Amino acid sequence: MSLLENINSPADLKKLSRKELPALAEEIRHTIVEVVSRTGGHLASSLGAVELAIAIHYVFDTPHDKLIWDVGHQAYAHKILTGRRDQFHSLRQHQGIAGFTRIGESPYDTLSTGHSSTSISASLGVAHAKFLKKENSKVIAVIGDGSMTAGIAYEGLNQAGDKFKDRELIVILNDNDMSISRNVGALSSFLSRTFSGKRIQEARKDLGDFLKSLPKIGDDMYQLAKRTEESFKAFTTPGMLFEAFNFEYFGPINGHKLNHLIDILNNIKHLKEPVLLHVTTQKGKGYAPAEENPVYFHGCGCFDVETGKCLDPKNPVPTYTDVFGRTLIEMAEKDERIVAVTAAMPEGTGLAKFAEIFPDRFFDVGIAEQHGVTFAAGMATEGLKPVVAIYSTFLQRAYDQVLHDVCIDRLPVIFAIDRGGIVGEDGSTHHGLFDLSYLRSLPNMVIMAPADENDLRSMLATALLHDGPIAFRYPRGSATGVPLHEPVEPLPLGQGKVLKEGDDILILAIGRSVGDALEARNTLKNKGISATVVNCRFVKPLDLDLICTLAKKIPRVITVEENVRSGGFGSAVLEAFSDAGLNGIRVERIGIADTFVEHGPQQLLRSLYGIDAPAIVKAAGRLMRAT
Ligand SMILES: Cc1ncc(C[n+]2csc(CCOP(=O)(O)OP(=O)(O)O)c2C)c(N)n1
């Protein structure tokens, strides 16, 4: 009988002897690999954190003690151990358990996560609340070295080490030397300054000899250094950084040695001060294909367990991301002012090849979207043409930088916003459903969305010619497969394009919704309803002339966007009609209602939330019946 079968909560885990735990870890790994091979998911990160999850739940009294996993993508073992073993097969499926931690899913999930580096701030908040409520609980945050590249992590450390020295906060730094790709920045090399016992002895001797050799003060200094073992450690290990924040530093220790981990956690759990435990782990641990290729298995699709080979059908149509990456390289070959910025996502944003070809013109700033945008603003002031490629959902982090550092002075920074719209299985924390609204309110910003890959290429060309902030957002997944036009022509600013003409209904569409609008038009035609379809291309500036002229002729208007309706493209059209004093026009706005969208397959969610072709057909029916 398997050990895992009997684990329905951490209380069951605690019944196991320490000797049994490595076998349990094996079973958990097996379950994770087996399920993720069918559902896709964050395999490598979760495999690396199996022992951590076991040790934490073995030692602490969760959910009374509060545990926060940063990003939450590494928490599969935690989910399995905390009563979700039987549902684990539904990982990332619609109505199944989420790929990240979710407050609503389990009392063991202290925080809903998905965007990185929030764990220290949130756990400090929890610790403070527990203190004020006179409740005695430990609070534990587990954060990766990649997530430690974000400023907010240090904002949390800074506060924790100041006023709240007596709060019982344990931060576990899960250091695998990787973000999604190899981790970047000075911090990464600093963390890897791990000294073996022998090296520490040698370093101590060297330092001792040096201090003793100094005239007069030498001997005293040597005695002092010898006495203060801790400060000596601070000289020579990554602890220096965290001790500067008043954290008690322990480590680095091997995060796969369960016995050792449990001993240390048992010791530090009694400390009444902020503690940082530095644990080293291996991404993909225990599954050879993921150990060998942790970048691919960071977030993978379905795969064959035996070989690790991808099982998702190979789509011959490139993704929008691929088209963007290739077009940027073509353009950068001709214009050496072009530089590219990513925030820890060179693969995801299609910039990996650019990085190889133009290493000096490529910048991975770490998980630091705010810094990345302001860094680009700085380069723009010097005449460079920065292209900042960030997912829609993560650009939310840098809203003020877009406003304050780019838009106010009309700096020519180009925002290539990937994963605009419904992203699918990553769910509510990751859908890019707000960008049209959050950017539209910013003066000086131009916003475009391509209907196909030719539009995307032209939008990049348009952006490179534009002397001011400009953004184009495109969806996750395959483009439309149309042949690519050469040469790439820039677009006239603020002009839409009429794709089909008809008299009954006017469909104003933006981005990938243009395809749905065309499909809906065909269905409507079969019902005897004729529709004009406009690929609006620009959310800002809108093609006012075209839209208003058409709306006067065809006063039954449908706007379609893959964005929240509040403040988005349809709102812009309504405002334009109002400002132009157009009366008697009936408008149906298709977009996401005022709600957060859960995880599930993209097409299913589009259908459930009424933003696909059938939804357009229904809206047209309503308009026809109303007039
Ligand atoms: C604000 C934000 N930007 C980007 C991402 C995308 N992302 C998810 S996990 C990850 C790497 C995290 O690295 P680390 O914390 O070291 O965890 P590991 O996967 O190595 O275990 C990134 C960049 C994110 N989740 N949040």
CA–centroid distance, residue 378 to ligand 1 (Å): 25
Q: Is 396 exposed, middle or buried (0-12, 13-18, 19+ CB in 10 A)?
A: middle
- With bands split at pLDDT 50, 70 and 90, how would you rate the model's confidence at 190? confident
Probe target for ligand 1 pocket from 112, 147, 175, 393, with the most ligand atoms within 8 Å of CB: 147
Tokens representing 185 are 């920045």
Q: Where residue 571 falls among pLDDT bands split at 50, 70, 90? A: very high
Mutate to test the pocket of ligand 1, among 113, 143, 179 (most ligand atoms within 8 A of CB): 179
Per-residue confidence (pLDDT) for residue 209, from 0 to 100: 53
Interval between CA 422 and ligand 1 midpoint (Å): 20
How far from 236 is each of 154, 219, 247, 414, 508, CA to CA, in Å? 21, 20, 16, 42, 63
Whole-structure pTM value: 0.94
283 flagged as catalytic:
yes
397 classed as catalytic: yes
pLDDT beyond 90 at 304: yes
Residue ranges around ligand 1 (CB below 6 Å) = 45, 48, 71, 73-74, 115-116, 144-147, 176, 178-180, 283, 298, 343-345, 367, 394, 397
Task: Give Cβ neighbours of residue 346 (< 8 Å, ≥ 6 apart).
Answer: 181, 352, 355, 362, 364
274 preceded by cis ω (within 30°)? no
pLDDT at residue 109 greater than cutoff 90 = yes
**Burial profile 502-527: b = 16 or more Cβ within 10 angstroms, e = fewer:** bebbbbbbbbbbbbbbbbbbeebeee
- d(CA 149, ligand 1 centre) in Å: 10
pLDDT of residue 312: 86
As given in the structure block, the two tokens for residue 252 are 């680095």
Instruction: State the catalytic residue, choosing from 397, 457, 540, 606.
Output: 397
Rounded mean pLDDT, 418-436:
98
Q: Are 362 and 339 in contact (CB under 8 A)?
A: yes
Residue 4 has pLDDT above 50, yes or no: yes
Q: Output the DSSP codes for 486-503.
A: SSPPPPPTT--EEEE--S
Nearest CA to ligand 1 atom 21: 45
Average pLDDT over residues 418-439: 98
Residue nearest ligand 1's atom 22 by CA:
180
The residue contributing the CA closest to ligand 1 atom 11 is 179
Catalytic residue (one of 51, 168, 369, 561): 369
* pLDDT of amino acid 211: 47
The answer, yes or no, to whether residue 198 has pLDDT greater than 50, is: no
Cα angle: 55, vertex 58, 59; to 5 degrees: 85
Nearest atom of ligand 1 to the alpha carbon of 348: 6
Q: What is the DSSP string of 282-313?
A: -TTTT-HHHHH-TTTTTSB--B-TTT--B-SP
Q: What's the average model confidence in pLDDT over 58-86?
A: 98
pLDDT of residue 469 exceeding 70: yes
Is it the case that residue 62 has pLDDT exceeding 50? yes
How far apart are alpha carbons 327 and 340 in whole angstroms?
12
Q: Given pLDDT bands bounded at 50, 70 and 90, which one contains residue 313?
A: confident
- Identity of the amino acid at 482: V
- 548/560 Cα distance (integer angstroms): 16
Does position 185 have pLDDT exceeding 70, yes or no? yes
Q: Would you say residue 125 has pLDDT above 90?
A: yes
pLDDT at 197 over 80: no
pLDDT at position 308: 96
Largest CA distance in the chain: 101
Q: Cβ distance 76 to 32 under 8 Å?
A: yes
Does the annotation mark 457 as catalytic?
no
When pLDDT is averaged across residues 452-470 and rounded to a whole number, the result is 98
Q: How many whole angstroms from 367 Cα to the centroid of ligand 1? A: 7
The CA 513 to ligand 1 mean position distance, Å, reads 30
Question: How confident is residue 218, by pLDDT bands cut at 50, 70 and 90?
Answer: low
pLDDT at 577 over 70: yes
Instruction: For ligand 1, pick from 36, 78, 117, 180 the residue to mutate: most ligand atoms within 8 Å of CB.
Output: 180
pLDDT score, position 194: 55
Which alpha helices (H) appear in 446-485, and where do they start and end? 453-465
Q: What are phi and psi of 323, to 5 degrees?
A: -65, -40
Span from the CA of 394 to the centroid of ligand 1 (angstroms): 11
Distance CA(221)–CA(134), nearest Å, equals 44
For residue 397, the ligand 1 atom closest to its alpha carbon is: 1
Q: Coil, strand or helix: which one is 527?
A: coil
- pLDDT, tens only, 317-375: 999 999 999 999 999 999 999 999 999 999 999 999 999 999 999 999 999 999 999 99
Best residue among 367, 388, 391 to mutate for probing ligand 1's pocket (most ligand atoms within 8 Å of CB) is: 367
Taking residue 364's Cβ as centre, other Cβ atoms within 10 Å add up to 25
Instruction: Provide the 10 A C-beta neighbour count for residue 304.
Output: 11
Asked whether 416 and 354 are in contact (CB, 8 A), the reply is no
Residue 165: per-residue pLDDT: 65
Q: Catalytic one among 66, 92, 167, 283?
A: 283
Question: What is the whole-number distance in angstroms between the Cα of residue 349 and the centre of ligand 1?
Answer: 14
- Provide the mean pLDDT of the chain: 93
- What mean pLDDT comes out for the span 205-209? 50
